[in-house]
Amino acid sequence: MIRFITSAAAAALLLSGIAVAQDKAEKKAPQVSVHQITENDKVKVYEVTYKVGAENKSIASTSMRVVRAIRGGRLERTFADGKKETVDYRPGQVRVNQPGPGYTTKNVGKSVLVLYVVQVK
């Protein structure tokens, strides 16, 4: 009987440790970091870093943006209607993103992606 109680207690401690580890892992999920470089009445300039698996929940695309890849990678855009689009960036590549519907992004590549963005206000 004592062996059973000891085993049950050990199992409970093990399971609680796993639950705590899962909670910590969820809190440490990859994040998107945005570093604003400068801003004036016409443009906003910032650098965006996507760790592998990181998601940016809301991209307002109501204005034109010039995007240059500092470090290349692959983003998946998901639009409100559920449509998905994959965008590959090569280092040094420049894109002009025209205004359009809003979307979320996720780094689905195998490396950190760093983008330099100039957003027209």
Tens of pLDDT, residue by residue over 67-82, are 999 999 999 999 989 9
16/44 same-domain check: no
Neighbouring C-beta atoms of residue 92, cutoff 10 Å = 10
DSSP state for residue 23 in the 8-state scheme? H
Tens of pLDDT, residue by residue over 38-64, are 999 999 999 999 999 999 987 777 899
* Total of domains in the chain: 2
Chain mean pLDDT for the chain: 83
Q: Tell me, what's the pLDDT at 62?
A: 83
Overall average pLDDT of the 103-121 stretch: 96
| Residue 89 banded pLDDT, cuts 50, 70, 90 | very high
Looking from the CA of 92 toward its CB, the CA atoms found within 13 Å total 0
Q: Where are the beta strands (DSSP E) in 1-121?
A: 32-39, 43-50, 55-59, 65-71, 73-79, 84-89, 94-97, 103-107, 113-120
Phi, psi of 109 (to 5 degrees): -85, -170
24/77 same-domain check: no
The two tokens of residue 79 are 């639009």
Residue 3 has pLDDT above 90, yes or no: no
25/39 same-domain check: no
Cα–Cα dist 4/121, whole Å: 68
| Domain assignment of residue 109, given as a range | 32-120
Confidence (pTM) = 0.74
